[in-house]
Structure 1
Amino acid sequence: MTDLNARIFVAGHRGMVGSAIVRRLEALGYTNIVTKTRSELDLTNQQQVQSFFQDEKIEQVYLAAAKVGGIHANNTYPAEFIYENLMIECNVIHAAHLAGIQKLLFLGSSCIYPKHAEQPMKEEALLTGTLEPTNEPYAIAKIAGIKLCESYNRQYGRDYRSVMPTNLYGPNDNFHPENSHVIPAMMRRFHEAKLNDSNEVTVWGTGKPMREFLHVDDMASASVHLMKIDCQLYQNYTHPMLSHINIGTGEDCTIEELAKLMAETVGFDGSVVLDSSKPDGAARKLLEVSRLNRLGWKAEIELVDGLKDTYTWFKDHYNGLR
């Protein structure tokens, strides 16, 4: 039976994923959600985190706090990416255990999988090959988070679960012109081209690589759904140590198709030019989501509708974005 008054801590509530989880919990009627800004609680500070859990009587944790960024940021600040993410995970997961908290959900990233993993990527592909070098420090930190959860489950009988989402987008995304991911970067580029009456927008690469995109509200829905599932049922669909589950749509599209859909969403009437002299990246990145589907959840927000929703948010906040 769901306890709508359970005291739930959402770490990272100001980020895209954390804010979506808070929206989802509130929509379902949860009334006792605890959040803290970084100035109120520094998750990289072990003493602060342990004191917080000792004082707040938290019953469940959604660990969505992380240092994130695109390829440029990962390449430029690898030390910060591995250090801050490891510290956040270690502090929160260990302090939750010390405080006797039985249920925790750790949110990772599909970059945990090897660079040349078979497509679609199954959960079993973890640690079977070399990681993508550009974001290896971040990926290693996320893998460590999975193994932290598994280890506390094995040794202490905790119910700490891990979910690995595909490429996310939606309200509160990072639309920075230099270090954002493909959808927010492309959305901003098309929007500014429209504002400036440009005749064309250039998209890097051949346009042939295929990518999967999940609206962050679907991600939040899946996360809460998986937290509510009975422990034994959850274990039936994972490894014996309560390993991770992929979260995605199970569908992908080419970058060229995405660009054309983005032009329609924004209302850009010019040409889309593909610059094949620029790198494509991996040919395909798609998650295998049959475990998630068997546990009773499937994505609901179509890409065309999710882009419209995101563009509405973007326009409302554009003048305040950097």
Structure 2
Amino acid sequence: MERRAKIYVAGHTGMVGAAIVRRLRAEGCENLLLATRAELDLTDQRAVRDFVMAERPRYIVDSAARVGGIKANMSHPAEFLHENLQIQNNLIWSAKDAGVETFLFLGSSCIYPRACPQPMREEYLMEGKPEPTNEAYAYAKIAGMKLCEYIHTQYGMNFISCMPTNIYGEGDSFDPETSHVIPALLRRIHQAKGAGSPYVTIWGTGSSRREFLHVDDLADAVVWLLRSYKDKQFLNVGTGEDISIRELAEHIRSLVGYEGRLLFDPAQPDGMPRKLLDVTRLHKAGWHHRIGFDEGLKRTYGWYLNNLF
């Protein structure tokens, strides 16, 4: 990957996209294409096509998506499916027509079936129904990954995909309506400490297990994939390690210094019982994560303290 090559990072204002931009700039990449939502509406097919055909980037990284936690996914499944299909279809097909050399699509580990064997290997995709609480998002991501795979096969173009595990880190969304589990727990436990609340109520039983990858590690993996990966088979990107939600909450309570109780509400959904990626293929190909969970969590909480709204 040449430093002067034109690279378009879709979704660069989000946590993942911003980390990818930082990583590319650290590599000395000088010709980055960036467009805010106001400058380019990715749900507008004509606008996206005109932009890609005019700019003709050598590489495109698609980190743009409508995202959210369990509450957001359950409240707006139609929008999650519709908007994500629009965004990815517009970008992928325009890139194909423009002859983009490498297109990298970022999916999500939620594509795997709810009852998937653990750890989840790439070949387990579509061997069962997805978790109902994120079904719409999962179907959209499966469609995007498959479209890249078919373009790779039919047209011989390097349209590749990776399926990251749960991502967290600096720049994450702490919005109570859309946040994922780590920022949600950090915010709520921090606020409970400040208010002197005797307890914090957490959705579910706390028994479900999740794997977490720091966003800077994902950005490093993205740059590695752009340089090295040519296979139509998507790759899992994660750490190969997981933790229960109860353990996570206790970890955050200790980090924040909160002395109140953590109450789990079994009337609320746990989501998928376990989501642990098998990263054997990724490791064999030559990439490993670098940021330990303790370090990543401290960095995330530090960012939150410096950016309280």
Fold similarity call, TM over 0.5: yes
**Structure 1 partner of 2:68:** 69
Partner of 2:152: 153
Residue pair 1:146, 1:243 contacting (<8 A) in 2 also: no
Q: Which residue of 1 aligns with 2:141?
A: 142
Q: Which residue of 1 aligns with 2:287?
A: 297
- Contact preservation (8 Å) 2:15, 2:172: yes
State the distance in 1 between where 2:172 and 2:180 align.
Answer: 9
Aligned to 1:164: 163
Structure 1 residue matching 2:65: 3-state secondary structure? coil
Aligned-residue sequence identity (percent) comes to 52
Alpha-carbon distance between aligned partners in 2 of 1:134 and 1:273, rounded to the nearest angstrom: 22
Equivalent residue for 1:239? none
Equivalent residue for 2:242, pick from 231, 252, 257:
252
User: Residue 20 of structure 2 aligns with which residue?
Assistant: 21
How far apart are the structure 1 equivalents of 2:49 and 2:180? 33
RMSD value, Cα: 1.4
* CA–CA separation in structure 2 for the residues paired with 1:53 and 1:203: 44
Cα separation, 1, equivalents of 2:269 and 2:6: 47
1:164 Cα deviation (Å)?
0.5
Higher mean C-alpha displacement, 125-134 vs 61-70: 125-134
Out of 245, 260, 263, the residue aligned to residue 270 of structure 1 is 260
- Equivalent residue letter for 1:145: G
Following superposition, the deviation at residue 230 of structure 1 comes to 5.2
- Structure 1 residue ranges without an equivalent (≥5): 236-241
Report the count of equivalent residues.
309
Consecutive unaligned residues in structure 2, runs of 5 or more: none
5 Å matches for 1:20-39? Answer: 20-39=19-38
Deviations 1:197-228 (A, max 9, x none): 22332333332221111111111111111111
Query: Are the equivalent residues in 1 in contact too, given 2:240–2:276 (CA < 8 A)?
Result: yes
Aligned mates of 2:202, 2:85 — CA distance in 1: 34
What's the counterpart of residue 270 of structure 2? 280
TM-score of the aligned structures, taking structure 1 as reference length: 0.92
Match of 1:221 in 2: 220
Residue 206 of structure 2 aligns to which amino acid in structure 1? G
Hey, what's the Cα distance between the residues in 2 that align with 1:22 and 1:205?
Answer: 36
| 1:277, distance to aligned residue in structure 2 (A) | 4.8
- Aligned 1:87-126 pairs, distance under 5 A: 87-126=86-125
What residue is the counterpart of 1:238 in the other structure? none
Conserved? CA contact 2:110–2:138, under 8 Å: yes
